[in-house]
Amino acid sequence: MTQIIDGKALAQKMQSKLAQKVQDLKDKEGIVPGLAVILVGEDPASHVYVRNKERSALQAGFKSEVVRVPDSISQAELIALIDNYNKDCSIHGILVQLPLPAHIDDNAIILAIDPQKDVDGFHPMNTGKLWSGQPVMLPCTPAGIMEMFREYEIDLEGKNTLIIGRSNIVGKPMAQLLLNQNATVTLTHSRTKHLPELARQADVLIVAIGKGHFVTKDFVKEGAVVIDVGMNRDDNGKLIGDVKYDDVAEVASYITPVPGGVGPMTITMLLEQTYQAALRSVSK
């Protein structure tokens, strides 16, 4: 029997615990965790993601500030906006929604965020810390996937894990988090040769390639755990994952659905890390 990893339920459980922790922090220290989200331009998917982040932040009792700016904003103006939040003591986490318009250099923007407030874990200070084994802020999607493994007691020690997709947001940080749990990691991408054959060796398969229904049963060993990070639209505008769910569910032992799998966990980890940053600000 294939077991569905219910990201939505786990996210709800963690977010209601978090709301209690936020209330305690308010009562004991008078501090409200503050999250600032900056959204540049009109990308419809980004607008949906940001609205979901805002709604969850408010539900958990956070202060939430969302700044929506047109894609005519200059890089210098965007950096100035970030700098204001770097200095604002009521804001503990800053997130700039990606992708950014072509005239803005993502790296320059990420570098402008105070590493202590970088709740996405994208700043080189935080990626460097992750790779040298002293993680503080983690990229939220891989961190959310690790929570799913914990919740479902999926042991990673010595397992063959294979990631499809080498992005800075998911694939690369995922590799390090799996290594920290003593998994063996293969990091593959669009140029990898003989991918289905390689993937069939994996006990745990994590797919973040951004191509709808890319992974079929041919990629999956009987009994493997399959995590689908994909968020794509099919020709009818329906949200679909990178994994052909019905096909792969026939062979997988555990599988995440889309929607209701990884997505809600990403938001949960964003809030959790903002709360942790607020907590650290108390002891300063």
Angstrom distance (rounded) from CA 191 to CA 254? 27
Instruction: Report whether 165 belongs to an annotated binding site.
Output: yes
Find the part of the chain contacting ligand GUN (CB under 6 A) among 11-19, 93-101, 144-152, 192-200: 93-101
Q: What pairing do the DSSP bridges indicate for beta strands 232-233 and 239-240?
A: antiparallel
162, amino acid identity: L
Interface mask toward ligand GUN for 49-88; x: CB under 6 A: ----------------------------------------
**Cα 151 to the center of its chain, rounded Å:** 17
Is the CB of 154 or the CB of 169 nearer to ligand GUN? 169
Instruction: Report whether 167 belongs to an annotated binding site.
Output: yes
Least distance in angstroms from the C-beta of 40 to ligand GUN:
11
To the query of whether residue 247 is one of the catalytic residues in this protein, the response is no
**Which listed residue (60, 162, 169, 249) binds ligand GUN by CB under 6 A?**
169
Among the listed residues 6, 15, 53, 244, the single catalytic one is 53
Eight-state DSSP code of residue 234: -
Helix, strand and coil content of the chain, in percent to the nearest 5, comes to 45, 15, 40
Find the part of the chain contacting ligand GUN (CB under 6 A) among 12-20, 92-100, 124-132, 217-225: 92-100
- The residue among 196, 197, 170, 171 whose CA lies nearest residue 185 is 171
Is the CB of 140 or the CB of 154 nearer to ligand GUN? 140
To the query of whether residue 53 is one of the catalytic residues in this protein, the response is yes
Q: Are 6 and 147 in contact (CB under 8 A)?
A: no
71, amino acid identity: D
Residue 201: count of CB within 10 angstroms of its CB: 13
**Which listed residue (56, 97, 186, 256) binds ligand GUN by CB under 6 A?**
97
Least distance in angstroms from the C-beta of 274 to ligand GUN:
13
The partner residues of 163 in beta bridges, in order of sequence, read 187, 206
- The residue among 99, 103, 51, 42 whose CA lies nearest residue 77 is 103
Interface mask toward ligand GUN for 115-154; x: CB under 6 A: -----x-------------------xx-------------
Going 42 to 43 to 48 to 54, the CA torsion angle's sign is negative
Find the part of the chain contacting ligand GUN (CB under 6 A) among 70-78, 90-98, 184-192, 221-229: 90-98
Instruction: Report whether 166 belongs to an annotated binding site.
Output: yes
User: Residue with the closest Cβ to ligand GUN?
Assistant: 98
Least distance in angstroms from the C-beta of 119 to ligand GUN:
9
Q: What tokens does 6 get?
A: 């219910």
Among the listed residues 15, 97, 176, 273, the single catalytic one is 97
* Interface with ligand GUN: number of residues (CB under 6 A): 9
Angstrom distance (rounded) from CA 104 to CA 71? 9
Going 133 to 138 to 141 to 144, the CA torsion angle's sign is positive
Residues serving a catalytic function are 53, 97, 120
**Interacting residues with ligand GUN (CB under 6 A):** 95-98, 120, 140-141, 169, 266
